[in-house]
Structure 1
Amino acid sequence: MNQSETDLPRLGAPALRALASVGVTRLEQLTAFTESDIKKLHGMGPKSIKQLYEALEQRGISFATKK
């Protein structure tokens, strides 16, 4: 995934692959997942979760609260 094709923050390759594995390439798509869902993905560490949380917060959106 090219950085120009996404509005996700700069994450490490394992985190980007983890998100891509569930079809996430844009921040808005994260609103369909709980933070717990994303944390369970192989390749997502605390640093990446923090970066995603901050990026979502800047946009005024958040992870889903429940599925």
Structure 2
Amino acid sequence: MSTALDTLPKIGAPATRALTEAGHPTLRDLAGVPRAELALLHGVGPKALEIIQRALEQHGLSLG
């Protein structure tokens, strides 16, 4: 059974693709990753970063 940490939140196809290609296919993989590093990925903008941060916070985690 998968949990919310085993998938990415709904952030749009370009952002999802960029994160997966960068080696972050799950929400769990994003815990501790610097926000600035993710912002450099094509398709990952402020809105996607905010959604990711909120999703991580629901699990007691955060971006780096």
Compute the TM-score of the two structures, normalised by the length of structure 1: 0.78
Which residue in 1 is equivalent to 2:24?
24
Q: What number of residue pairs does the alignment pair up? A: 59
Q: In the alignment, is residue 63 of structure 1 matched against residue 56 of structure 2?
A: no
**RMSD across aligned positions (CA):** 1.2
Structure 1: segments with no counterpart, 5+ residues? 1-5
The share of aligned pairs that are identical, in percent, is 41
Q: Distance in 1 between matches of 2:50 and 2:32?
A: 18
The equivalences for 1:5-24 within 5 A come to: 6-24=6-24
Shift of 1:26: 1.1
